[in-house]
Amino acid sequence: MMPEATVPMEHALIVAALLFGIGLFGLMLRRNIIFMLMALEVMLNGAALAFIAAAAHWGNPDGQVMFLFILSIAAAEVSVGLGLVLQMRRQIRSLDMNDASQLRG
């Protein structure tokens, strides 16, 4: 039996897709690297929300586990990302992603 007052999975998935989309557009449009990292976090949250919704829908705890993984990955990613931001600031004296194009062919 499904609990009465639940949010339908479709709604949760729409929110997750919106979060993912907002994050993606943020990643593509923002030039500041800190904002880009934040956008990345938003995308991760979107994905995580999708897992939670699916887990709740099918009553399967694997989704919850996956959320914990995503959470730890996001923490690790942020720590590495902020380290890179510090290096970027130090090496090219800018936080604009367009300035960090030394790898052009």
Partner 1 sequence: MQLLLTLVPGLPLLSATLLLLVGRHLPKAMVTACGVGSIGLAGIAVALLLNQWLISPEPFSVTLWQWLSVGSFRVDIALHLDQLSIIWLCTITGIGFLIHLYSSEYMAEDSDYSRYFAYLNLFVASMLVLVLADNLLLLFLGWEGVGLCSYLLIGFWYQDAANGAAARKAFLWTRAGDAAMAVGLFLLVAEFSSLDIHEVVAGAQLAWVEGSFLPNVACALIFAGAVGKSAQLPLQTWLPDAMAGPTPVSALIHAATMVTAGIYLLARLNGLYILAPAVLSVVAMIGMITAVVAAFAALAQHDIKRILAYSTISQLGYMFLALGVQAWDAGILHMMTHAFFKALLFLAAGAVIECLHHEQDIRRMGGLRSRLPVPFWSFLIGSAALAALPFTAGFASKDLILLRVWSSGPEGALLWSGAAVGAFITALYSFKLIFVVFFGDINTEPTRQPGWRMAIPLGVLAFFSIVGGFISLPLDSVVPLANEEPPHGLIAMVTAGIPIVGVLVAYLLFGRQWIRDLAGPMHSTVGTWLAAFWHGGWGMDTLYRRTLVQPYTALARGLRNEPIDVLVNLIAWITTQFHLGLAATQNGQLRRYIAIMVVGLILMLSLVDGGAS
Dihedrals phi, psi of 96, to nearest 5 degrees: -80, 125
Which pair of structure tokens corresponds to residue 63?
């989704």
Nearest-approach distance from CB 97 to partner 1, in angstroms: 5
Nearer to partner 1, 1 or 102 (CB): 102
Q: Nearest distance from residue 49's CB to partner 1, in Å?
A: 20
Q: Can you say whether the dihedral through the CA atoms of 19, 22, 28, 29 is positive or negative?
A: negative
C-alpha 4: how far from chain center: 31
**Residue with smaller CB distance to partner 1, 90 or 104:** 104
Positions touching partner 1 (CB under 8 A) are: 24, 27-29, 31, 97-98, 100-105
